[in-house]
Structure 1
Amino acid sequence: MLLKLAGVEKKVGLETWLHPLDLTLRESAVTVLLGVTRAGKTSLMRVMAGLDTPTAGRVLVDGHDVTGVPVRDRNIAMVYQQFINYPSMTVFDNIASPLRLRGQNDIQSRVGEIARTLHIEEFLGRLPAELSGGQQQRVALARALAKDAPLMLLDEPLVNLDYKLREDLREELSLMFAQGRSSVVYATTEPGEALLLGGYTAVLDQGELLQYGPTIDVFRRPVSMRVARAFSDPPMNFLSAQVAQGVLRCQGINDMRLPDAAALPAGPVTVGLRAADLSLRSQGEDCRVSGQVQLAEISGSATYVHADTPVGTLIAQVPGVSHHQLGDAITFHFSSRQAYIFGADEALLHAPYTQEANRGAY
């Protein structure tokens, strides 16, 4: 299915939920809608599905205008954060329901295959009320996958699952999407999930479409600071700096030299550094900044170290478990080659990896 949104806008009363936007989804590919809560992801999905009619603009499916056509007259599958299952039907019958409507013959094997992928095969004989919330969410997801619709809309479908299961299912789903025939739209607040799913990413903020393109390209070259904020977890570090005589000067940091710094306009800029590009020990990097530890958060296999420095609070993502006391002196090391440079209007002026991109570096 080729889905195209042309000048779509959505207003509710005096509030604008979606600012005018144009978006054409790639056929049989995954498009991730990335943004924080209330960025406009669900509003956009509801317009795509036909649950809501846009205030302005058109929704086109394979070149046909379907604006205002209700969801029941569209061949789509949708899964919300709030799972919806048929309460009087077993898990097996819930998953099999779209297969029976199509008159499919291999119902038993198809239901078993999907149930194994989502780790719910042991619950096939139960009713939804006998399951936990996370298990019910997986049943709703399984039914949507069984429908094999040309357009599948998934609104944060894994948000109610525990951490380990989310990690496992992300990988399984990315493989299933790659092998399927559906155009998939997947909403998430997590940049890591967008990177794992690959495909294409549309970054949304306050109802505005900020950037759309291949996921890795959007990650590597965010067109603005707003996109960089949305596509960084933990948040990208931003430092005020000055461009002068072909170098970047920033308080408390030795001069940063970029291969193409001479091409940057002289004057104030903002330097962006991803937390994973800051390290606690020098590994040949050319820049460093010292400060005091404010907080050290251990999360999974990484530690997020927050430090008060002459350029403000910086966050470093350090592999493994790293113990720090409040007020400890600390030095962050980084390479100027990893720096993003944004102009006074917050637009991207320079991104790293321009030479490394073809070699698959992040």
Structure 2
Amino acid sequence: MLKITDLELLVGGVAHLAAINASFQPGTLTTILGRTGAGKTTLMRAIAGLIAPDRGQILLDGTGWTRLPPWKRPVAMVTQQFINYPHLNVRDNVAFPLVRAGVAKADAAARAEAALARVGLAAMVDRRPSALSGGQQQRVAIARALVKKAPVLLLDEPFVNLDYNLREAFRKDLVDLLAVETGTVVLYASTDPREALQMGDQIVLLADGRIVQSGSPRDVFANPASLTAARVVNDPPINPIPFHQNGVADFGALGQQAITLPSGAYTLGLRASDIRAGGPNQARVTLTEVTGSETLTHLSLNGLDLVMQEKSVVLRSPGDVVGVHLDLHKGLVFGADGQRAGV
């Protein structure tokens, strides 16, 4: 088990990691989800020993890593960039960490070829990285990480530089590959909520260097503990609508959920998919984004900026007026402190 306790890292007086406490079991894939700058890469670099935390501990099966140099940590890491050795062929790129660890060259080559076969590159073992596509180069990097058989595997947004179709294909392939790594703790960093929710056995939400929630993907998505967690785990971002106990602006009663709340100011978090075209509220279009087969329409409604998500391609222009319906009963209620209320 990989265990992190009270981990903290300050840079120029600013906390890049703060009070990180987490445990990760072998044989599980945990997605670390957060916006750019949330601390995902910093956390992985701390685990790998590439940066030193100011306080806290990192332990693997009870053995402390805090003072262990990176080359002594049994960690494999794949980063966003295609980091391969240009002067070596694909086989030797994958075999390199084994040879460096003292494995006989013939044995290292055989293990490298087996790893390359697992990632679909069996026919390319003699090529140089420059002769491969970007996706193939990243597969080489993944094979080099897998061949080490390290108990901790860190994947820092490994597909972020690939196009959409390649990312979709690799995502499934990677999950299948990792399913047999039953003795490995796998951490996968992502800025994409859909990717994180689909891939992981568990999910950890990071914001401003802090863990704001963790658990199963289903539970974290359905029951975000705070407005911050709801913003991290939803894409498009959740719509925050301020209201008081008896209603939401001019949109009518919120329902039984609001009636049972104490007096005070609250925020209703409404997912973009819970706003539908065709309703009594007249909203003005400010921007339309077509993303594949979906349309995100940015709206201005009674002084509120909202985003509506539709499962089709709908062309609208800024300034158009569209009637919308808000499924307020599906909203998530948060108190003035940002924490979930009424649950």
In structure 1, give the amino acid aligned to 2:306: L
| CA deviations over 1:41-96 (Å, ceiling 9, x no partner) | 11111111122221111111101212110121121110111232222221133234
Consecutive unaligned residues of structure 1, counting only runs of 5 or more, are: 283-287, 352-362
The aligned residue for residue 238 of structure 1 is 240
In structure 2, give the amino acid aligned to 1:137: Q
In 2, the alpha carbon distance for the partners of 1:234 and 1:87 equals: 39
In 1, the alpha carbon distance for the partners of 2:300 and 2:11 equals: 42
| CA deviations over 1:124-160 (Å, ceiling 9, x no partner) | 3211133344432221122112323211001110011
Percent sequence identity is 39
In 1, the alpha carbon distance for the partners of 2:314 and 2:128 equals: 45
State whether residues 39 and 209 of structure 2, in contact with CA within 8 Å, keep that contact through their aligned partners in structure 1.
yes
In 1, the alpha carbon distance for the partners of 2:259 and 2:273 equals: 27
Give the Å deviation of 1:114.
2.0
Where 2:245 maps in the other structure, the secondary structure is: strand
Give the Å deviation of 1:97.
4.1
Q: 2:248 aligns with which of 220, 237, 250?
A: 250
Q: 2:341 aligns with which of 340, 349, 360?
A: 349
The aligned residue for residue 44 of structure 2 is 45
> RMSD across aligned C-alpha pairs, in angstroms?
2.2
Q: 1:314 aligns with which of 299, 306, 313?
A: 306
Where 1:250 maps in the other structure, the secondary structure is: coil
Q: 1:336 aligns with which of 328, 337, 340?
A: 328
Where 1:280 maps in the other structure, the secondary structure is: strand
Alignment of 1:180-191 (within 5 A): 180-181=181-182, 182-191=184-193
In structure 2, give the amino acid aligned to 1:266: S
In 2, the alpha carbon distance for the partners of 1:230 and 1:72 equals: 34
Bigger shift: residues 73-82 or 15-24? 15-24
The aligned residue for residue 62 of structure 2 is 63
In 2, the alpha carbon distance for the partners of 1:290 and 1:251 equals: 14
| CA deviations over 1:138-184 (Å, ceiling 9, x no partner) | 21122112323211001110011111000111112122223322110
| CA deviations over 1:260-306 (Å, ceiling 9, x no partner) | 44432222210111112222146xxxxx6321111111111100011
Give the Å deviation of 1:312.
0.7
The aligned residue for residue 9 of structure 2 is 10
Q: 1:297 aligns with which of 289, 294, 298?
A: 289
| Cα 1:114–1:32 shift into 2, 3 Å | same
State whether residues 28 and 185 of structure 2, in contact with CA within 8 Å, keep that contact through their aligned partners in structure 1.
yes
Give the Å deviation of 1:320.
1.6
In 1, the alpha carbon distance for the partners of 2:180 and 2:190 equals: 21
Q: 1:274 aligns with which of 268, 271, 275?
A: 271
The aligned residue for residue 34 of structure 2 is 35
The aligned residue for residue 230 of structure 2 is 228
In 1, the alpha carbon distance for the partners of 2:147 and 2:26 equals: 19
In 2, the alpha carbon distance for the partners of 1:141 and 1:108 equals: 11
The aligned residue for residue 74 of structure 1 is 73
* TM-score, normalization by structure 2: 0.91
The aligned residue for residue 285 of structure 1 is none
In 1, the alpha carbon distance for the partners of 2:46 and 2:320 equals: 51
The aligned residue for residue 129 of structure 1 is 130
* TM-score, normalization by structure 1: 0.86
| CA deviations over 1:174-198 (Å, ceiling 9, x no partner) | 2222332211011111111101112
The aligned residue for residue 325 of structure 1 is 317
Give the Å deviation of 1:105.
9.1
In structure 2, give the amino acid aligned to 1:256: L
Q: How many residues align?
A: 337
